[in-house]
Amino acid sequence: MGPGSTLESVGVFFMEKINIYKPKPLPREIAEQCIQSLSHRLGQLEIDQCHDKLLWPTYLNEKSKIKLYLIYYRECIRLYEKGQPNE
């Protein structure tokens, strides 16, 4: 795979579009709760798509947003555990 071929490698460019900027260190417990909530939302989105409650472009857009937030919170955990601020 080349550069820009994964969601994580291009995620930074799209994070600005949904008002996610630089991750900040966040305690694991808080970030895990956010990740759990987002995972639940992703599951509900899949269910809604299966029942034709969403148009395909809307589904893809929302799914991408949720995945970017998941990347964001994982990075927050990583920064917290390393003890480094992201400036």
Question: Does residue 31 sit within a domain?
Answer: yes
Question: Does residue 10 sit within a domain?
Answer: no
Question: Does residue 59 sit within a domain?
Answer: yes
Question: Does residue 36 sit within a domain?
Answer: yes
Closest of 64, 66, 6 to residue 36, by C-alpha: 66
Its pTM surpasses 0.85: no
Residue 34, domain extent: 26-82
Assign 1 a pLDDT band (cuts: 50, 70, 90): very low
- pLDDT, tens digit, 9 for 90 and up, residues 11-65: 555 555 556 678 889 999 999 999 999 999 999 999 999 988 888 999 999 999 9
In this model, does residue 2 exceed pLDDT 70? no
DSSP state for residue 42 in the 8-state scheme: H
Total domains in the chain come to 1
Question: Does residue 7 sit within a domain?
Answer: no
pLDDT at site 47: 92
Question: Does residue 16 sit within a domain?
Answer: no
Question: Does residue 33 sit within a domain?
Answer: yes
